Amino acid sequence: MKITSGLSAFLHVVIILIAWLGVPSARPMLAPVASIEVEIVSDVIAKKLPPKPAPPKPAKRLPPPPLSSEVVKALEPVIESMKEDKAVAIPDVKALEPNPKPKQVVKKKKLEPPRKPRPRPKVKPKPKPKKIVRKPPKKPKKNKPKPLPKDEFASVLKTVEKLNPRPVPPKLEKKVEEVQPFEKIARVLNRKPTARLRKVGEVSFSELDLARRQIEQCWSLPAGARDAENIIVVIRAVVNPDGRVRTAKIVDSGRLAQDPFYRSMAESARRAVLNPRCQPLRLPLEKYSEWRVTVFRFNPKEMF
Amino acid sequence: MTREVYIMPKFDFIPSVLVLRIVVILLVLVGNAAAVHAEVSIDITRGTVEALPLAVTDFHGIVAPEQEVGRNIAAVVSANLERSGLFSPLDKRAFIQTAASLRVRPRFSDWRVINAQALVQGNVKLQQDGQLRVEFRLWDVFSEAQMRGRAFVTVSENWRRVAHMISDEIYKRVTGESGYFNTRIVFIAESGPTRRRIKRLAIMDQDGANHQYLTDGSNLVLTPRFSPTLQEITYLSYFNDEPRVYLFDIESGRQELLGGFLGMTFAPRFTSDGKSVLMSYAKNGNSDVWRMDLSTRKATQLTKHAAIDTSPSASPDGAEIAFNSDRGGTPQLYVMDGNGANVRRISFGRGRYSTPVWSHRGDLIAFTKQASGKFHIGVMRPDGSGERILTESFLDEAPTWAPNGRVLMFFRQTPTDSKGKGGTSRLFSIDLTGHNLREVITPGDASDPAWSPLIP
């Protein structure tokens, strides 16, 4: 005990001395700044949120709960714990998720019930608005009458048409045809053996050109970036039938962590594909099955 | 395909409903396979060079002092990023979501609506121990993911530096290159009438804040250069009416004559390791490039030529030195090995070249060029290729690189008119693309800027 307390006292003195001697040399302009990574918790947030089909809507309805002091309290510990206690933070974040089904956090159950009923109704409506465009095709499956879906579709197309002039009538018919599930399957089956041969003929280069120009307008790459002309970024996008991009993924994501220049350019490319300003993509609507998955290869070689 | 082969026979004997289901599953599988084949590929070979629209929200604080710091930090970050030319911060009045609700989570749709592609939010907390804790997060609005999150703890007077560090974090995360906001500039502050001009050494933050004078102006001071350690400045001052190279310690304010040369020494510049100073030494009327080792104080002559050799600047690895010489008839740029061997000329354009400065990233040499009665700041590769002129004016001079090698600062003088008016001298910055020319605001006239390395 004596040794340890003596040692402790000695160390305290040393620390005080260091602190004392250290102060005079510290100038305000260059005073030390401790910097701490706070990435981990948010990574958890980030990982969870992307899968949600429509985050905007839950978010819009979320604000009411934050107003209550309890929710704010629940959040604060998360932020506090970000730096010191990564492990603790994770469950807290989970608790904040709109669909909190976790059995854990017994104490918080009192808080959660009021939330649970809200998020659930929210969650269901979410996917709907996004899929509105897709639903017209689905509805016809259930409700056989074709005229109705036709009308709905027509209205969608008109709005699209206003934005981007395209030939409408042929698409309408083809779309409705595609809606037939078995026909679609049959088509796919029929196409398969000759897929490659047909593909070239089905979506022509000139048809892709419009979409290419659209994305080019939205691709803003960092000025003066080093070696940008030697980097190729491939983005794989899943596109909705109305030409709006549903998801866009950087194909070579392994390189993101290693190469900051690649990451910078890859992210600028992904922003271009996701930018609502350059959507819907002007692709031939009747050939949706061909461009449902569109691969964009970004390389700014023409800019250098 | 292989799955089909295995599965089909297996379920051949199962009742028809199940068979149907299996068939459907198979068809879906086949459909997916076909969909993979049906990808189209689009090559994007050009884009635009536009600033990234981003929203910098006031950092959230609970009590009034925290809120004030939060607003100030957001303002400094926003101004820094805007000045870089790579970001275009959006008007705060357009923001829909409040700073308080941002703490819960960004509503990305609210930010997409106002065309923000990135979002910066943060919190400020004054801790009980008096320390300031600032936390920020950078979000990608389209992909709805956090790009960067970091917390800083420091004394509360240091909020400006924290704002610069946050700016650097954002810049680095988005562009892939390190930033240059947490830096300082030393320069010559000029005041008084032309005949009795007072020139004082001054220092300020990269954005013009925290300006202070380091010398009182009793001695003429010129061409200050930062040491890579940030602690020292080397410059030219006059001693007994003769120009001499001095070392100056920023913290202590101590000035020291560098070396016991018998004659003029001028155009000093630290090597990138900070261990020696390159300079010109005029001996018997002939100037050559010398290197002074700071630990041994031993001077080594690097060039031996009857012409004027001056303005040496070492490459980042120290293996080569660029300098200015009129050995070819007019002032041109030359590069030699670190020991003075293998001298080769690199500038061949029309005009007179001077003040070569090697970029910190090693890929370019900046210079001053005088041609057709105008002055220019330009850059070229170390082998002399790829010359690009970035500026043009009555008098542009003395380029200095930002630590990331993407921005240059220099000073620009305007001519005096017949009545003796005009003739101002101001600092400007320009980016490597030749766009985004900005005046760096100083309290008065200024010349000879020198950009510090990043403050750690």
pLDDT, tens digit, for every residue of A69-80? 222 222 232 333
Rounded to 10 degrees, what is the CA torsion of A204, A210, A212, A217? 180
Contact A222 B162 (CB under 8 A): no
pTM of the model: 0.70
Give the residue numbers spanning the domain of B18.
2-31
A269 three-state secondary structure: helix
pLDDT digits (tens, 9 = 90+) for A100-144: 333 343 333 333 334 444 444 443 444 444 433 344 444 444 444
**Which neighbouring-strand residues pair with B246?**
B235, B257
Pairwise CB contact (< 8 Å): A219 & B44? yes
Domain final residue pick, B175, B206, B227: B175
CA distances (Å), origin B435, targets A225, A228, A274, B49, B429: 14, 18, 28, 11, 10
Whether the CB-CB separation of B28 and B20 falls below 8 Å is answered with: no
pLDDT band for position B264 (cuts 50, 70, 90):
confident
The answer on A250 and A187 residing in a single domain is no
**Residue A131 belongs to some domain of the structure:** no
**Distance between CA B235 and CA B448 in Å, rounded?**
10
pLDDT confidence of B192, banded at 50, 70, 90?
Answer: confident
For residues A216 and A190, membership in a common domain is answered with: no
Q: Assess if residue B189 is contained within a domain.
A: yes
User: Could you give the number of structural domains in chain A?
Assistant: 3
Q: Are B417 and B394 in contact (CB under 8 A)?
A: no
Q: Which domain holds residue A61?
A: 57-125
What pLDDT sits at residue B243? 87
Q: What is the CA radius of gyration of chain B?
A: 29
**Distance from C-alpha of B73 to C-alpha of B91, rounded to nearest angstrom:** 16
- pLDDT above 60: residue B403: yes
Q: Tell me the C-alpha distance between A283 and A139, whole Å.
A: 24
Q: Do B207 and B333 sit in the same domain of this protein? A: yes
Average confidence (pLDDT) over A239-254: 91
Q: Which residue has the higher pLDDT, A2 or A178?
A: A2
Which one of B21, B43, B44 makes the best mutation probe of the A interface by having the most chain A beta carbons within 10 Å? B44
- Give CA–CA dist B19/B11, Å, rounded: 7
Q: Are A210 and A246 in contact, with CB atoms under 8 Å apart?
A: no
Q: Does residue A277 fall inside a structural domain?
A: yes
Helix residue spans in B85-177 (DSSP H): 99-102, 108-113, 159-175
Least confident interval from A209-218, B112-121, B415-424, B432-441: B415-424
Chain A (135-194) residues lying within 8 Å, Cβ to Cβ, of chain B? 184-185, 188-189, 191-192
Put simply, whether B153 touches A (Cβ < 8 Å) is yes
Pick from A44-58, B317-331, B357-371: least confident:
A44-58
Kindly determine whether residue B155 and residue A28, on different chains, have CB atoms separated by under 8 Å: yes
Min Cα separation B228/chain A (Å) = 15
pLDDT of A238 reads 94
Instruction: Note whether A179 and A211 are same-domain residues.
Output: no
| Residues in a beta bridge with A250 | A235
Give chain A positions within 8 Å (CB) of B113.
none
Q: Which of B22, B36, B87, B105 to mutate to test the interface with A (most CBs of A within 10 A)?
A: B105
Last residue of a domain, one of B119, B143, B175: B175
Cβ–Cβ contact A75 with B under 8 A: yes
Tell me which DSSP letter residue A285 carries. G
Burial B70-104 (b: 16+ CB within 10 A, else e): bbbbbebbbbbbbbbbbbebbeeeebebebebbbb
Domains of chain B: total: 3
Q: Judge: A27–B251 Cβ closer than 8 Å, yes or no.
A: yes
Q: What angle do CA A220, A223, A229 make, to 5 degrees?
A: 85
Q: For B146-171, how does the pLDDT look when each residue is reduced to its tens digit (9 = 90+)?
A: 999 999 999 999 999 999 999 999 99
Closest chain B residue by Cα to residue A96: B104
Residue B151 lies in a domain: yes
Interface test with B, best of A27, A33, A42 (most B CBs within 10 A): A33
Q: At what angle do helices A169-179 and A181-191 cross, to 10 degrees?
A: 100
Task: Please tell me whether residues A295 and A219 are part of one structural domain.
Answer: yes
- Both B198 and B280 in one domain: the answer is yes
Same domain, B23 and B152: no
- State how far the alpha carbon of A159 is from the alpha carbons of A204, A238, A271, A277, B223, in Å: 25, 21, 24, 15, 64
Establish if B50 touches chain A: CB-CB under 8 angstroms. Answer: yes
Closest CB from A31, A191, A270 relative to B155 = A31
Per-residue model confidence as pLDDT tens digits over B360-372: 999 999 999 999 8
Answer for the pair A38, A82: CB distance below 8 angstroms, yes or no. Answer: yes
Query: Given CB atoms, is B174 within the 8 Å cutoff of chain A?
Result: yes
- A96, A264, A293: residue with CB nearest B175: A264
Domain membership of residue B41 (yes or no) is: no
Kindly give the interhelix angle for A39-48 and A69-84, rounded to the nearest 10 degrees: 120
Asked if B149 has any chain A CB less than 8 Å from its own CB, the reply is yes
Answer yes or no: is pLDDT of B310 > 70. Answer: yes
What is the SS3 string spanning A190-249?
A: HHHHHHHHHHHHHCCHHHHHHHHHHHHHHCECCCCCCCHHHCCEEEEEEECCCCCEEEEE
pLDDT band at residue A83 using 50, 70 and 90 as cut-offs: very low
Pick B144's closest partner by Cβ from A55, A82, A225. A55
Is the pLDDT assigned to residue A262 strictly greater than 70?
A: yes
- Both A213 and A264 in one domain: the answer is yes
B23 and B103 inside one domain: no
Indicate whether A4 belongs to any domain.
no
Under the banding of pLDDT at 50, 70 and 90, the label for residue B19 is low
Nearest chain B Cα distance for residue A127, angstroms: 15
What is the distance between the alpha carbons of residues B54 and A237, in angstroms, rounded to a whole number? 24
CATH number of the domain within which A243 lies = 3.30.1150.10
Kindly write down the DSSP assignment for every residue of B338-390, as one continuous string: TTS-S-EE---SSSEEEEEEE-TTSS-EEEEEEETTEEEEEEE-TTS-S-EE-
Distances (CA, A) of A145 to A106, A140, A142, A150: 51, 7, 9, 9
Q: Do B223 and B316 fall into the same domain?
A: yes
Q: Tell me how close the Cα of A230 comes to any Cα of chain B, in angstroms.
A: 11
- Of chain A, the end-to-end C-alpha distance in Å amounts to 72
Spacing of C-alpha A81 from chain mean position: 26
In chain B, residues with a C-beta closer than 8 Å to the C-beta of A224 are 406, 431-433
Inform me whether the pLDDT recorded for A155 exceeds 70. Answer: no
DSSP A15-38: HHHHHHHHHHH--GGG---EEEE-
Sign of CA dihedral B95, B101, B102, B106: negative
Q: Which residue stretches of chain A are H helix?
A: 2-25, 39-48, 56-61, 64-67, 69-84, 86-96, 112-115, 119-123, 127-131, 135-142, 147-163, 169-179, 181-191, 195-202, 205-218, 260-274, 288-291
The reply to whether residue A59 touches residue B105, judged by beta carbons under 8 angstroms, is yes
Residue that terminates a domain, selected from B175, B194, B227: B175
Q: Which residue has the tokens 């390389």?
A: A299
Chain B interface test: which of A184, A202, A267, A273 (most B C-beta within 10 Å): A267
Is residue B310 within 8 Å of residue B323, measured between CB atoms? yes
Same domain, B388 and B323: yes
Contact B40 A295 (CB under 8 A): yes
Residue B312's nearest CA partner among B336, B295, B329 is B336
- CB contacts of B38 in chain A (<8 Å) are 195, 199, 289-293
Element (H, E) at B7: helix B2-10
Per the prediction, chain A carries an average pLDDT of 58
Nearest CA in chain B to A239: B39
Listed in sequence order, the residues at least 6 apart from A98 whose beta carbon sits closer than 8 Å to its beta carbon are A52, A58, A62, A115, A119, A122, A123
- Whether residues B225 and B372 share a domain: the answer is yes
Among A180-189, B104-113, B383-392, name the one with the lowest average pLDDT: A180-189
Nearest to B432 among A217, A224, A262 (CB): A224
Please report the pLDDT score of residue A302 as a whole number.
77
Q: Helix (H, G, I), strand (E, B), or coil: what is residue B30? A: helix
* Contact call for B157 and A31, based on CB within 8 A: yes
pLDDT for residue A225:
64
Chain A interface disruption, residue of B4, B30, B40, most A CBs within 10 A: B40
For A125-162, b/e burial (b = at least 16 CB within 10 A) is ebeeebbebeebbeebeeeeeeeebbebbeebbeebee
Which tokens is B178 given? 């390190």
